[in-house]
Amino acid sequence: MLDKSPRKTAVNVPNDLAAHWMPFTANRAFKKNPRLLAGAKDMYYFTVDGRKIIDAAAGMWCCNAGHGRSQIAEAIGKQAAALDYAPPFQFGIPQAFELASRIADLAPAGLDHVFFCNSGSEAADTALKIALAYHQTQGQGARTRLIGRERGYHGVGFGGTSVGGIVNNRKMFGTLLAGVDHLPHTYDRDKQAFTKGEPEYGAHFADELERLVNLHGASTIAAVIVEPMAGSTGVLPAPKGYLKRLRDITQKHGILLIFDEVITGYGRLGFAFAAERYGVLPDMLTFAKGITNGAAPMGGVLVRDTIHDAFMSGPEHMVELTHGYTYSAHPIACAAALATLDIYRDEKLFERARMLEPKFADAVMSLRSEPNVVDIRTVGLTAGIDLASRPDLPGKRGFDALNSAFHDNDLMLRIAGDTLALTPPLIVSEDQIGEIVGKVAKVIRAVA
């Protein structure tokens, strides 16, 4: 399955870390005790001092096929030599059209058009703008309200931050967009703790959309955006029946439904997209991360025919949607994505994730007796492990776990406050699942 080309040697370590203001990072703490990476291959990162770190995070939810895939690197190099850049406004490249067709073929029937951008953040903002513009084309320009969800994450653009529901991501940035409201999150620890897969309890949380409709009026609401599995907040799977009920309510009131599948897309839940797992067809679906296996920035929005076709009117020489990015469908990103989709197909990685899901869930649930573990949630090849917060220091136990994992246990994981998130590449073996869980147990004990 895996290519075995040798890894590159470690890079030199800079002697000054001050200039780089790192994103979503505790900069002062990092620069006192850096976590520096120099290489990666298959299931492992390599540190600047030569240590081998098992990757239980797929980089940042994106390296689903593992690291250092020679097919992707070769495709990138070949494309860079042939065509390094082409303007995406009023010009195109064959690879962009091929890639859009292949993505549409993977998606549920009806999501047949792809608008490319460069990240999940841009994908969320693109979908929100398309929703607003669509209602304009339908003579329903009063539909301007956007509905997100508490604990949701839709990137860091103004639109995505506004509909997002993670407090720390919002509170520094003022009022953000006007006309935004939020559904409640779907998590109830008392009724859902230690659930494998989708919780039995919680479909009724979707009914809160009816309350918002009664409050604001259906004729003012443009779209609802949710993650099928809320990842960045700490892995909250959708309760059974929740997404279908949300779909029924949005259709009833003429509201567009957007699935943010930046994390769940490309095999994380055992299918190309979570929409397929749950049998629910949204009006738009955002993606990023796994489309290029993390090897190049790319994102996009899958759009239903009815929405796309609504824009295809008026004089043919006029731009139908005044939106896009300098690097939309960048040649190098397209090459990386096409090579990545080849790997997913040839190695049957989505099916592999589905096969491994119960084994992964059982292994992670074995941690429930470890100190300070108050809940564990699993779905697909993803798990969230909630640790009890230290008094008056929320997030400190999780931060200490991040450091213990990297510096003392040769493990990369993600944290969300005091939640440990495990999201290994889909190439992970059963033995490596055991290795990861064993290391996590040591980390939990170390921060007890």
Residues 273 and 302 in one domain: yes
Can you give the pLDDT at residue 281? 98
Q: Do residues 302 and 208 both lie within one domain?
A: yes
330 and 357 in a single domain? The answer is no
φ, ψ for residue 415, nearest 5 deg: -130, 150
- Residue 6: is its pLDDT beyond 70? no
In-domain check, residue 17:
no
Q: What local confidence, expressed as pLDDT, does residue 371 receive? A: 98
Whether 97 and 243 map to the same domain: the answer is yes
Using pLDDT thresholds of 50, 70 and 90, give the confidence band for residue 13. Answer: confident
Digit-coded pLDDT (tens) for 227-285? 999 999 999 999 999 999 999 999 999 999 999 999 999 999 999 999 999 999 999 99
Give the pLDDT score at 306: 97
Flag whether 272 is in a domain: yes
131 and 172 co-located in one domain: yes
Which of 320, 346, 372 marks a domain boundary? Answer: 346
Please answer whether residues 372 and 444 qualify as being in contact, where contact means their C-beta atoms are separated by less than 8 angstroms.
yes
Residue 9: is its pLDDT beyond 80? no
| Final residue of a structural domain among 346, 375, 394 | 346
CATH number where 324 lies: 3.40.640.10
Which stretch of DSSP H or E encloses residue 226? strand 221-226
pLDDT over 90 at 80, yes or no: yes
Write out pLDDT tens, residues 123-135: 999 999 999 999 9
Q: What CATH number corresponds to the domain at position 407?
A: 3.90.1150.10
pLDDT given at position 10: 53
Q: Which residue range is the domain that position 361 belongs to?
A: 27-65+348-446
Q: Is residue 7 part of a domain?
A: no
Q: How many domains does the chain have?
A: 2
Predicted pLDDT of residue 14:
80
Q: What is the pLDDT of residue 2?
A: 54
- Taking Cα atoms as reference points, which of 98, 99, 120 lies closest to residue 258? 120
pLDDT tens sequence across 29-43: 999 999 999 999 999
The span from the CA of 328 to the CA of 69, in Å, is 24
What phi and psi values does residue 228 have, to the nearest 5 degrees? -60, -35
User: Same structural domain for residues 306 and 359?
Assistant: no
| End residue of a domain, out of 346, 379, 394 | 346
Supply the pLDDT for residue 12: 74
Residue 1 pLDDT class (50, 70, 90 cuts)? low
Q: Are residues 338 and 368 in the same domain?
A: no
Look at residue 432 and tell me if it is in a domain. Answer: yes
Domain assignment present for residue 8? The answer is no
What amino acid is encoded at 384 in this protein? G
Same domain, 287 and 184: yes
Prediction pTM value: 0.96
Give yes or no: residues 255 and 267 share one domain.
yes
The mean pLDDT of the chain is 96
Same domain, 174 and 255: yes
CA torsion 328→334→264→1, rounded to 10°? -170
Give the mean pLDDT of 39-58.
97
Q: Are residues 47 and 81 in the same domain?
A: no
Residue 157 binned pLDDT confidence (cut-offs 50, 70, 90): very high
Whether 178 and 289 map to the same domain: the answer is yes
